[in-house]
């Protein structure tokens, strides 16, 4: 099965979040692709009902190269998106870009590593929960099972083959919980309004991290952002709320640390409001002068005929869990030309996907530790 046919086959599985049987079936198909072959080690894991698998050419958890990919996708409006459609050089369908095309590429690269007997400790980690946070997949392998690698390929970011992602913002998810005292809405002086104190707290923090929208679009996107994802409180229109809470999403740059953000938030809490930390990540920030990144850049330019650029990602991917446990891990974020991720018109360029395969092969052949 060639790269394109394998991609089409993976897309056929309606492995959207919540459709557990299809997710398991898709993962099992990836395992069966390698199962029973000489020189291949397969380690299955399951946590909180979600599976993952590490496929490798050696029995270790310390690799030279690790590729990570996920087979879960976001839901669709129309199940026809699970049948790949090819128009010219584009393949349309759910998961073509995010990221079954990349998983298929990684599987074919693994074939090449085995076939050529490359002297590299090489692993492929396939998970099923990236779209919902990666807690039972990448996080479990990195933090609980101590999976480590010198270089991590992350083909889940970038959108363009000549763009190499060397840094990503850190994510910091929090909940603000406000406790007050209820009273009748006509007599607010008898109560303590939890909603009011929550709003004041958010406004206090907003003075430091301004609201960003399409009407306030900064030229420099490498900035720390704050987004209020959910907010709720109160039980009735005519009752002062005794409880309110908000979930807030921060994406921060090297200007801040987890500790400095916590300090800023804590100093701006109104009485009765407390901070709960849900998830903290650290910045993915690799020096563009690193020899492995420079080698990869050279190969990209050779295969594309274009100047390769280093860029950043505003979002987070599963690679963050590996930099969290080992800041020396080199993350190489690179993706075939694609667009409309999570949208009705999601696609990947077929020729670009094939070039990504060639780039990976050449890089591995030239790689020296």
CATH class in words for 170-280: alpha beta
- Residue 58 φ/ψ region, left for φ over 0, alpha for ψ in the -120 to 50 degree band, beta for the rest: beta
Task: Provide the pLDDT for residue 31.
Answer: 98
Give the pLDDT of residue 100. Answer: 98
Decide if 131 contacts 74 (C-beta within 8 A): yes
Both tokens of 88, joined, read: 């010219």
pLDDT digits (tens, 9 = 90+) for 126-161: 999 999 989 999 999 999 999 999 999 999 999 999
Give the span between the Cα atoms of 7 and 108, in whole angstroms: 10
Return the pLDDT at 283: 85
Q: Looking at the DSSP assignment, which residues form a beta bridge with residue 338?
A: 348
Please list, in sequence order, all residues whose beta carbon lies within 8 angstroms of the beta carbon of residue 366, skipping any fewer than 6 positions away.
295, 299
Q: Is 323 exposed, middle or buried (0-12, 13-18, 19+ CB in 10 A)?
A: buried
Mean pLDDT, residues 204-215: 95
**What pLDDT does 281 receive?**
79
Q: Using one digit for the tens of pLDDT, what is the confidence trace for 245-290?
A: 999 999 999 999 999 999 999 999 999 999 999 988 778 889 999 9
Q: Which fold has domain 3-169+283-366?
A: Aminopeptidase (3.40.630)
Query: 169-183, pLDDT tens digit by residue?
Result: 999 999 999 999 999
Domain residue limits, the chain? 3-169+283-366, 170-280
Listed in sequence order, the residues at least 6 apart from 339 whose beta carbon sits closer than 8 Å to its beta carbon are: 97, 159, 345, 346, 347
Q: From CA 7, how far away is CA 103, in angstroms rounded? A: 8
**Rounded average pLDDT over 186-209:** 98
Give the Cα separation of 94 and 318 in Å (integer): 19
Minimum mean pLDDT among 14-18, 169-173, 305-309, 314-318: which range? 314-318
Residue 192 is predicted with a pLDDT of 98
Q: Name the band, by pLDDT with cuts 50, 70 and 90, for residue 299.
A: very high
With bands split at pLDDT 50, 70 and 90, how would you rate the model's confidence at 324? confident
110 near 55, Cβ under 8 Å? yes
């Amino acid at each position: 099965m060639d790269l394109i046919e394998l991609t089409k086959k993976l897309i056929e599985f309606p492995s959207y979040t919540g459709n557990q049987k299809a997710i398991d079936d898709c993962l099992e198909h990836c395992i069966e692709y390698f199962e029973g072959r000489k020189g291949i080690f397969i380690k299955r894991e399951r946590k909180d009902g979600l599976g993952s698998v590490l496929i490798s050419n050696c029995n270790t958890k310390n690799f030279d190269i690790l590729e990570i990919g996920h087979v879960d996708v976001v839901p669709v409006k129309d199940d026809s998106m699970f049948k790949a459609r090819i128009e010219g050089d584009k393949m349309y369908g759910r998961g073509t870009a995010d990221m079954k095309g990349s998983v298929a590429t990684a599987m074919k690269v693994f074939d090449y590593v085995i076939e050529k007997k490359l002297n590299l400790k090489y692993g492929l980690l396939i998970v099923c929960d990236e779209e919902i946070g990666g807690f039972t997949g990448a996080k479990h392998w990195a933090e609980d099972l101590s999976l480590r690698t010198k270089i991590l390929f992350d083909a889940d970011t970038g959108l363009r083959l000549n763009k190499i992602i060397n840094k990503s913002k850190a994510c910091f998810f929090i909940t603000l919980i406000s406790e007050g005292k209820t009273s009748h809405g006509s007599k607010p002086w008898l109560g303590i309004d939890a909603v009011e104190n929550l709003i004041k707290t958010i406004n206090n923090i907003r003075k430091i991290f301004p609201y960003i929208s399409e009407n306030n679009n900064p030229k420099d996107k490498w900035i720390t952002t704050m987004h209020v994802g959910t907010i709720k409180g109160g039980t009735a229109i005519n009752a002062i709320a005794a409880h309110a809470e908000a979930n807030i999403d921060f994406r921060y740059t090297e200007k801040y640390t987890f500790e400095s953000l916590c300090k800023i938030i804590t100093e701006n809490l109104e009485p009765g409001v407390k901070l709960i930390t849900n998830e903290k990540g650290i910045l993915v920030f690799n020096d563009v002068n690193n020899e492995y990144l420079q080698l990869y850049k050279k190969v990209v330019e050779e295969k594309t005929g274009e100047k390769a650029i280093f860029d950043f990602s505003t979002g987070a991917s599963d690679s963050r869990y590996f930099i969290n446990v080992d800041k020396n891990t080199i993350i190489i974020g690179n993706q075939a030309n694609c667009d409309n991720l999570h949208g009705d018109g999601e696609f990947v360029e077929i020729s670009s996907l094939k070039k990504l395969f060639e780039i990976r092969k050449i890089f591995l052949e030239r790689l020296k530790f």
